[in-house]
Structure 1
Amino acid sequence: MKENIQIREELIEVIDHLTDEQLNKKVNNEKWSIIQVLEHLYLMESKLVKLMTRTFNEAPSEVIQDKPIHLATDRTKKITSPPHFEPTDQFITKIEMTEKLNQSRKSLHEFVELTKDHKLDDKGMPHPIFGQINLKQWIPFIGVHEKRHIDQIRELKNELFIK
């Protein structure tokens, strides 16, 4: 969780000086705006925590090998987001989005606290690229995924000529 906290701090720092208009501006119709990237991160984290909680409570134990989740930061490999993690086209303020991100992170902290005395590497959930990932790895994967999108936000800022 420590790394997830550091990555979230980096994310907030990267968007800190941006206005609501800059956050919602699109480079073109093929790319998400920065706020859409943030909304995607919120949707993913909040929905994953719900799925992780259900898996923790209901899934049978199984042997699940660790996966090379660090590879998720490789932006040369384009991945299409599943529809339930797709952002909307709504104008969202930085304050609203920060509150949502804080809410989803609070849920992740609560899951970690709930499961801290339990083994998490024997229950898993599917990932479209890595296959079955155990719950122990899903926690840092959320941060790794966020790191990938911090790089995307930096690219978008450059394309929008925002320093």
Structure 2
Amino acid sequence: MNKTVNDNLCDTRNNLVKEITLLSDAQFNSRPDMNKWSIAQVCHHLVLVEEASIKAIAWGLKVIDSTQKERKNVDLILLDRTKKIKAPKIVEPDIKPFEVQQIINLLNDSRKKLMTFLSTIEDKSILAEKSVKHPALGELPLDQWIEQIYLHEQRHIEQIKEIKSLLDVRQ
């Protein structure tokens, strides 16, 4: 995995944690309205997406006849928040309340699993040669599955900032 991707994973996660660290558990679990997720739910969704991405990449590596599909402008798709993307059921967050530290621990665990998993791939070039269907982005090369983790997180950091302003959270 190249340094840029690694740096982006790290920087984005640090930004996410910085956005949530000082929130009270009440702010963290407060929903701006019943049709919107709380910040806690957004973060739980990010944990679930990271774990699902690991499974998808692992599955994609095992598929023998998987060939590279065209690369997509994942950043343009994911960072455009004017286009709503419905989360598949498998990555919908729990409705139960979370503590901030509990979510930070889950985020740390899912990132550790991702980095450990990626470190087991001896020939990283294979990631650009195989692809798996992504629920929102269609057929996606495996290396772009890794990219979409931090791009998706960046999208949701913007959502968290929006929720904080709707809740009038000052930090």
Regarding TM over 0.5, the answer is: yes
For the residue of structure 1 that corresponds to 2:140, the secondary structure is strand
Residues 84-105 of structure 1, C-alpha deviations (whole Å, 9 max, x = no match)? 1101110111111111111110
1:145 paired to 2:152: yes
1:136 partnered with 2:143: yes
Instruction: Give 1:81 deviation, angstroms.
Output: 0.5
SS of the aligned residue for 1:115 comes to coil
Of 104, 107, 117, the match for 1:101 = 107
Query: Is contact 1:27-1:33 (8 Å) kept?
Result: yes
Q: 1:115: how far off?
A: 1.8
Q: TM-score, normalised by structure 2?
A: 0.90
- Please say if residues 64 and 121 of structure 1, whose CA atoms lie closer than 8 Å, have aligned partners that are also in contact: no
Over 3 Å counting, the alpha-carbon distance change for 1:108 and 1:12 in structure 2 is same
Residue in 2 aligned with 1:38? 43
5+ residue gaps, structure 2: 1-5
> Take 1:128 and 1:47, find their aligned partners in 2: how far apart are those partners?
11
The counterpart of 2:123, out of the listed 117, 127, 133, is 117
| Residue in structure 2 matching 1:50, options 43, 50, 55 | 55
Deviations 1:66-92 (A, max 9, x none): 110002011000111101110111011
Q: Which runs of 5+ in 1 are unaligned?
A: none
Question: Number of residues paired by the alignment?
Answer: 163
Counterpart code for 1:8 = R
Q: 2:167 aligns with which of 143, 147, 160?
A: 160
C-alpha displacement of 1:116: 4.8
| CA deviation after TM superposition for structure 1 residue 60, in Å | 2.5
Deviation, 1:59, is 4.2
Deviations 1:27-63, CA, capped at 9 Å, x for gaps = 1100000000000000110121122112212343413
Q: Tell me if 1:92 matches 2:98.
A: yes
What CA distance in whole angstroms lies between the structure 2 residues aligned with 1:19 and 1:37? Answer: 16
Tell me if structure 2 keeps the 8 A contact 1:24–1:34.
yes
CA–CA distance in structure 1, aligned partners of residues 108 and 40 of structure 2: 15
1:65 corresponding residue in structure 2 = 70
CA distance in 2, matches of 1:42, 1:77: 22
The answer as to whether partners of 1:121 and 1:136 remain within 8 angstroms in 2 is yes
Q: Percent identity?
A: 36
In the alignment, what sits opposite 1:25? 30
